[in-house]
Amino acid sequence: MKPNVLILRAPGTNCDLETAYAFEKAGAATERIHVNRLLEDPSLFEKFQILCFPGGFSYGDDISSGRILSSQLLHNLSDQLQKFRDAGKLVLGICNGFQILIKTGLLIPVDGEPLATLAWNNCQRFQDRWVELKTHANCKNVFLKGIDRLYIPAAHAEGRFVVKDAETLKKFEENGQIALQYAPLDFSKFEEAAKYDANGILQYPDNPNGAVANIAGLGDETGRVLGLMPHPERHIDPTQHPRWTRRDVQPEEGEGLQMFRNAVEYFN
């Protein structure tokens, strides 16, 4: 049986169709549901095994990215969201969805002072570019099983991952929560010291936002929740690669597809 995926929409969401396509190509059944439908009938959660918050600009990113939708979910559907996660199901947040995962507490606790957040890019402007990613050695996340590297596009203005303090960052690493990190576009030279500043942060544009520890994606402690800023759903077909006409060997699929396939195979 195909796992059912709930792709949550809100005013301003604009990546739901691409995300549905990615999950369906990976073998899942999808349904795009507006947040108002869930507010009217929270029992809709029960028919799904995977919950995805896609990218876009929910509610125009007024106030801050993902803030309004996060507040809606926290005040009206917090119990249902926690129940969904605690039932052993999977949760994915892409770009704006990553911001929502952090603000709702589905990824990390939100009691008291936030342990981490996503701030404005260091360049102070929107970035739209392809990035090279590596999976952290300690990562135990379901979505990244068997994935060592990814080449996918990123498009955001508030994607700089920051943490409360060094102790929090160390805890994320020890728990296997650091999922994806930005890497030099020439992946074979990842250890090239000249590309990093004194704090170990990869230089722009390889790290397009200045994220601490070059973090592009973070998981929860169970390994069943993942948030990431870049867009895997935008590299599902090989022809989506920016240099697909100049490649010597054309792969059968885009590099982002395996992430969605991992989610489907988790239930098989």
Selecting among 18, 132, 158, 233, the annotated active-site residue is 233
Selecting among 136, 156, 231, 241, the annotated active-site residue is 231
Provide the pairing of β-strand 225-228 with 90-94: parallel
Q: Is 207 helix (H, G, I), strand (E, B) or coil?
A: coil
Selecting among 95, 158, 235, 241, the annotated active-site residue is 95
Provide the pairing of β-strand 178-183 with 127-135: antiparallel
CA 202 to chain centre: 20
Q: How far apart are CA 132 and CA 183, in angstroms?
A: 5
The tokens for 24 are 């369906």
Q: How far apart are CA 192 and CA 258, in angstroms?
A: 28
Q: Judge whether 15 counts as a catalytic residue.
A: no
- Residues with Cβ < 8 Å from 121, sequence gap 6 or more? 127, 156, 157, 158, 159, 160, 208, 209, 210
Q: Judge whether 139 counts as a catalytic residue.
A: no
Q: How far apart are CA 107 and CA 98, in angstroms?
A: 9
Counted residue by residue, the chain has a size of 268
Angle between helices 67-76 and 78-86 (to 10 degrees): 80
Q: How far apart are CA 95 and CA 55, in angstroms?
A: 5
Residue that is written with structure tokens 């700089």 in the block: 160
**What amino acid positions are annotated as catalytic residues?**
95, 231, 233
